Amino acid sequence: MFMPRVRSDRPLPVPSGCAKLGLISQFVEIPDDLVFTVEYSVRPAQTAVYQLLNISREIPTITPHDKSWVTQLDAVLKAFA
């Protein structure tokens, strides 16, 4: 999961052209999400099911923790504590 990669290394939850195949788990591509969170384990399943069954519910938004200055400052403080 933590090896260097490019976006094309992993498939989308519903690969293009598929009408009956949905992929789940932490090994699908979800842009701007962190692979090791619990939400990342659930989000591909939601995405695949909603897309394949034409369900118009909103998938929970991705929290941009990596862009938060509070989170970044906390990480620096913990690194040197």
Per-residue pLDDT, 3: 77
Per-residue pLDDT, 67: 78
Cα separation, 44 vs 23, whole angstroms: 7
Q: Could you tell me the end-to-end alpha-carbon distance of the chain, in angstroms, rounded to an integer? A: 28
Q: What does the pLDDT look like over 10-33, one tens digit per residue?
A: 899 999 999 999 998 888 888 878
